[in-house]
Amino acid sequence: MSEVQLEETIIYGVVFLLCGLIVFLYLRKKSSDSNKTVQKVETAKEEGLYEPVSLHPYIDPNACIGSGACITACPEKDILGIVNGKATVINASNCVGHGACFHACPVEAITLRIGTEKRGVDLPHVNQNFETNVKGIYIAGELGGMGLIKNSVEQGHQAIESIVKSKKTVKKADCLDVVIIGAGPAGISASLAAKKAGLSSITLEQDSLGGTVFTFPRSKIVMTSPMNLPLYGKVKLFDTSKDELLQLWKKVINEHNLQIIENTKVENIIPLKDGTFKIVTNTEQEYLACNVLLSIGRRGSPRKLDVPGENSQKVAYRLLEPETISGKKIIVVGGGDSAIESAMLLKDENEVILSYRNDKFSRLKPKNKENILKAEEDNSIRIIFESNILSINEKDVLLRLKDDSTQQMENDLVYIFAGGELPTIFLEKVGVNITKRFGYILKKY
């Protein structure tokens, strides 16, 4: 063998070894990452975060090529991961339905679904124009399964466009073109779109401007991508707080003189023989409309404990302006993210007890779980597991403990975060069909 051939052999050998080393390191890293994801999945199952609770990605393993594009596109942490070269869901219950993974997948291996094969979700029947089986009644936003703010905003103005195209407008002087129920993201967008289209309308909200967004703790991030508001244009806001978003909505509403009536709950929608609707409210005010757009949340009204004293002024189902509350003895009821976040906001200036009926937390966002356990450790919050409020009195509450004993506790304020009642009965009374969906593929995304 000549000297040149020897040198070439050595060079080829070195290159081969380097290539082999690179492949080895690459495969070892993939194996390590895969094992880490498997561990994350197991942890998610133990903590009750593996099963989805709303809109979520479903991955077809036969189509997935493991590109990781879905993971890169997802703005949340540890929702998706790769195991043995295939994408998999990790903390599915923390998915908020951005849909970025769905759009990023290069081989269309991801579909967006509501409910699972075991756990169904009640959904109203809505066609591609957002109209229900009751002609003239439309649904947009969270109630139809689309909870993300940006998507709810889009659906709000799309539903109004469908109403305009239907040409079902005012037939008599006292009848509005559309009554919009709910002043959350979809409702506000719809109100602006109705104004832009020249429709006569009014918007009714059972609580305050912003709907369910208004119930978030003040510092909570509620929007992470831009959106288009009718009459306003593109809103380029990122890492936006609830307060910033509400201020923007108030600005737009005032500029365009929208009629939004707060603290008015719709008790009934009555279809009339001429095709219009009578809307009955808790304030005894009634409205007539050719069309109705429901943009209410899936939780409807807050779930109550049904205990004596719950109707007193010291009881609330949302936390407003926590920075103004100090020196109080407070009981927060619930073990979900809203309860934890509210307790954390109150603990520095108040004496806070967290009462939770179960023996441990589940389905908590990792950061919330970390924060509440740390607060318990440093005694800034007292947690009483397996406890239930029996009665609420002027200066105290009666609590049942896990051994069935009871304890009277001094108390100034009670915040209840027990979820909400689905508005199923309300919808069925109107005539809107409701079906429990199992692994339903969302087509209107």
Going along the chain from its start, the domains and CATH numbers come out as 3-114 (3.30.70.20), 122-301+423-440 (3.50.50.60), 315-418 (3.50.50.60)
DSSP-assigned letter for residue 421: E
Distance CA 379, CA 336 (A): 20
Query: Per-residue pLDDT averaged across 288-307, rounded?
Result: 84
The confidence score (pLDDT) of residue 414 equals 94
Instruction: Show Cβ contacts of residue 434 under 8 Å, excluding neighbours closer than 6 positions.
Output: 122, 123, 124, 125, 424, 427, 428
DSSP-assigned letter for residue 192: H
Query: Per-residue pLDDT averaged across 156-163, rounded?
Result: 92
Q: With beta carbons less than 8 A apart as the criterion, state whether 385 and 356 touch.
A: yes
Under the banding of pLDDT at 50, 70 and 90, the label for residue 214 is low
The pTM for the full model equals 0.69
- Across 191-195, 231-235, 306-310, least confident range: 231-235
Give 391's strand partners: 398
Most confident of 67-81, 83-97, 397-411: 397-411
Distance CA 219, CA 224 (A): 14
The confidence score (pLDDT) of residue 126 equals 85
The confidence score (pLDDT) of residue 380 equals 95
The predicted-structure confidence for 238-266, as pLDDT tens digits, reads as follows 666 667 777 787 888 888 888 888 888 89
Taking phi over 0 as left and psi of -120 to 50 as alpha, with beta for the rest, 205 belongs to beta
The predicted-structure confidence for 27-51, as pLDDT tens digits, reads as follows 677 777 788 888 888 888 877 777 7
The DSSP-derived string for 58-70 is: EE-TTT-----HH
Indicate whether 399 pLDDT > 90.
yes
The tokens for 262 are 């707060």
The confidence score (pLDDT) of residue 4 equals 63
Coil, helix or strand at residue 400: strand
Nearest partner of 331 among 409, 396, 415, 395, judged by Cα: 415
The confidence score (pLDDT) of residue 199 equals 92
**H helices of 309-377, where?**
337-346, 366-377
Nearest partner of 331 among 267, 264, 388, judged by Cα: 388
Distance CA 232, CA 252 (A): 7
Indicate whether 13 pLDDT > 80.
no
The predicted-structure confidence for 330-366, as pLDDT tens digits, reads as follows 999 999 888 999 999 999 999 999 999 998 887 787 7
The confidence score (pLDDT) of residue 350 equals 95
Coil, helix or strand at residue 432: coil
